[in-house]
Amino acid sequence: MKTGSEYLESIKSLHPRIFLGGRQVGLLEDPTTLTVVRANARVYDLARDPRYEETMSCTLPGGRRVSRCLYPPRSPRDLEKRAEMAVLTSQMLGTCNYRCVGQDALTALAGTTWEMDRDLGTDYHRRLINHLTWLQDNDLAVSGALTDPKGDRGKRPGQQEDPDVYVHIKEKSADGIVVRGAKVSQSGAIGAHETLVIPTMGMRPGEEGFAVAFAVPNGAPGLTYIAQYTPFTAERQLAPDTKYLGNPLYGQRETCIMVFDDVFIPYDHVFMCGETQYTGRLVGRFAKTHRMNCGGACKTGFADLVIGAAAQMAEYTGIQKVPHIIEKITDMIRISETCHACTVAAALKGREEPAGAGYYLPDDVFGNVAKLTVADGFWDIMKWAGDIGGGMAVTMPSELELENPETGEYVRKFMKAAAPAELRLRMAKFLQNWCAGLHGAGTWHGAGSPQAQKMVLYALTDLDAKKKLARDLAGIVD
Ligand SMILES: Cc1cc2nc3c(=O)[nH]c(=O)nc-3n(C[C@H](O)[C@H](O)[C@H](O)COP(=O)(O)OP(=O)(O)OC[C@H]3O[C@@H](n4cnc5c(N)ncnc54)[C@H](O)[C@@H]3O)c2cc1C
């Protein structure tokens, strides 16, 4: 497996066409794109760290160790370790493990291509496994792309005014396909060696052109990355030193729009090409695993950081023993651990799917409940953190004032509490990153907007069985 430095070396040969804030930037030159690169490098280093290797890597049947980011789970224990990896990387980065979506897309594709080959006599699974072996051999970073721009949400892909709002096959030739369209909100795609692309939803007969899955290398001709731009991007561009930023090294969860302007994909890298009847299963399998990992486990790691920051601020302010503060911190822990417990339950109740394929997926009910719990719960956790941190988390001056001879003494004097101003300002800025930042909406929509999970949860629940239980005990004879 690669070290962080080897990853850094390996991406020097990539030349993604990235636009950020209205101009083209170099992956290794812009302060925001560098946060993605740094986060990836840290994930590589974590896998080589003896303290974390059990979580971050796994052993193949031949005895070779590979990154867990490139390993479709083969048992409930693997699923549990996968979820643990999400907790750990969130704790260590305070942003995405940008290889997370790619790993979950790989898991969904592993079972679905196996099923297609069995049912249809296609060659997709062999291609995928060949490709996976190459990814593992070279320990490459893979991001995952599902979310199409989708245009008018009330219309099907084929009914859209512009068909490009869903990635689709424009042409087929003897060697491969040409794809067109875009994927939005793509976490860390700019710093990945390649992206695994799958449909955003189940397709119907007549929508064959949209039923496409493939791997595309970073910087492929016709591929453009348009990066997200937020106040945090501007702040990082202006900051004289990253130490003044809330998450100095790894920053925000950075995404981009990936534009596919007639990108050629050779057949070796195509894993679905028109089989609409398998798209729903593919997306459903992705959702099962991603809701446990990104929806539940990852946010437990983030919550650990927010809870830690709130408890630290309480000490700095001198309120750590006050009953209502203890109660609020306890409530934050309750929410986070409920979500954590749901992810562990989803993993341990995981099942082989499809039967006989050898690949495992988490339990759907517990995975969806994990994501739903955190979607609401994360706002609550941030609410209590904002309460405990005080108004300072949003009204604080810049830490640079401490170095200003005209204001430094004032800020030291008036921002001091039970701890010096320096510590309070630094931790308040960390809290600002969460409570007044992008993570609320990010947690809500990442791994799918909550309405999707509610629909699944309702559909999965056997209400007739529950009604019968109630009737039986109430003495109502059928
Ligand atoms: C921080 C972050 C990171 C992400 N990373 C990735 C990534 O790496 N890869 C990736 O593929 N995606 C990624 N996503 C995208 C994520 O999966 C989507 O944001 C999510 O699926 C919602 O889609 P949308 O943003 O298009 O929302 P919209 O579709 O615009 O949803 C807005 C609202 O409309 C509702 N709605 C939409 N369509 C319908 C409908 N047909 N019927 C009823 N209600 C509807 C939704 O429930 C929601 O309430 C990321 C998102 C975030 C926020």
CB 111 within 8 A of CB 353: yes
Which residues have C-beta within 8 Å of that of residue 76, sequence separation ≥ 6?
A: 347, 348, 349, 350, 360
Q: 172-204, pLDDT tens digit by residue?
A: 999 999 999 999 999 999 999 999 999 999 999
The confidence score (pLDDT) of residue 61 equals 87
Which of these, 305, 338, 347, lies nearest to 83 by C-alpha position?
Answer: 347
CB 128 within 8 A of CB 213: no
Q: 149-160, pLDDT tens digit by residue?
A: 999 999 999 999
Confidence of residue 353 (pLDDT cuts 50, 70, 90): very high
Strands 176-183 and 194-197: unpaired
Which residues have C-beta within 8 Å of that of residue 108, sequence separation ≥ 6?
A: 198, 282, 283, 285, 286, 289
CB 99 within 8 A of CB 294: no
For the chain, domains (ranges, CATH) are: 4-276 (2.40.110.10), 281-474 (1.20.140.10)
Q: Is the pLDDT of residue 98 over 90?
A: yes
Task: Find out whether the beta carbon of 446 lies less than 6 Å from any atom of ligand 1.
Answer: yes
Tokens of 340: 């954590």
Task: Find out whether the beta carbon of 101 lies less than 6 Å from any atom of ligand 1.
Answer: yes
Distance 449 CA to ligand 1 centre (A): 5
What's the chain's Rg over C-alpha atoms? 23
Confidence of residue 381 (pLDDT cuts 50, 70, 90): very high
* pTM check: above 0.75: yes
The confidence score (pLDDT) of residue 73 equals 98
Task: Please report the sign of the dihedral spanned by the C-alpha atoms of residue 328, residue 293, residue 135, residue 62.
Answer: positive
Task: Find out whether the beta carbon of 150 lies less than 6 Å from any atom of ligand 1.
Answer: yes
Confidence of residue 474 (pLDDT cuts 50, 70, 90): very high
CB 111 within 8 A of CB 357: yes
How many angstroms separate the CA atoms of 343 and 362, rounded?
Answer: 8
Task: Find out whether the beta carbon of 386 lies less than 6 Å from any atom of ligand 1.
Answer: no
Q: Where are the beta strands (DSSP E) in 190-343?
A: 194-197, 212-217, 223-227, 256-266, 270-273
* Protein residue with its CA nearest to atom 28 in ligand 1: 449
- As a whole number, mean pLDDT of residues 351-376 equals 96
Q: Which amino acid is at 207?
A: E
Confidence of residue 270 (pLDDT cuts 50, 70, 90): very high
* Protein residue with its CA nearest to atom 53 in ligand 1: 442
Confidence of residue 295 (pLDDT cuts 50, 70, 90): confident
Task: Find out whether the beta carbon of 146 lies less than 6 Å from any atom of ligand 1.
Answer: yes
Q: Is the pLDDT of residue 429 over 80?
A: yes
Mean pLDDT of the chain: 97
Give the three-state DSSP class for 144: strand
The confidence score (pLDDT) of residue 218 equals 98
Residue 354 preceded by cis peptide, ω within 30: yes
Q: Is the pLDDT of residue 478 over 80?
A: no
Alpha carbon of 359 to those of 209, 307, 315: distances in Å? 27, 35, 47
- As a whole number, mean pLDDT of residues 263-276 equals 98
Can you tell me which residue has the tokens 């291509």?
113
* Residue 139 Rama label (left phi>0; alpha psi -120 to 50; beta): left
Q: What is the DSSP string of 156-185?
A: -GGGSSSGGGS-EEEEE-SSEEEEEEEE-S
CB 283 within 8 A of CB 290: no
Mean pLDDT lowest among 27-31, 83-87, 474-478:
474-478
Distance 440 CA to ligand 1 centre (A): 14
Q: What are phi and psi of 215, to 5 degrees?
A: -110, 135
The confidence score (pLDDT) of residue 85 equals 98
215-242 burial: b if 16+ Cβ within 10 Å, else e: bbbbbbeebbbbbbeeebbebbeeeeeb
Q: Is the pLDDT of residue 341 over 80?
A: yes
**Alpha-helix runs per DSSP H in 94-151:** 100-120, 124-138
Q: 447-472, pLDDT tens digit by residue?
A: 999 999 999 999 999 999 999 999 99
Distance 63 CA to ligand 1 centre (A): 40
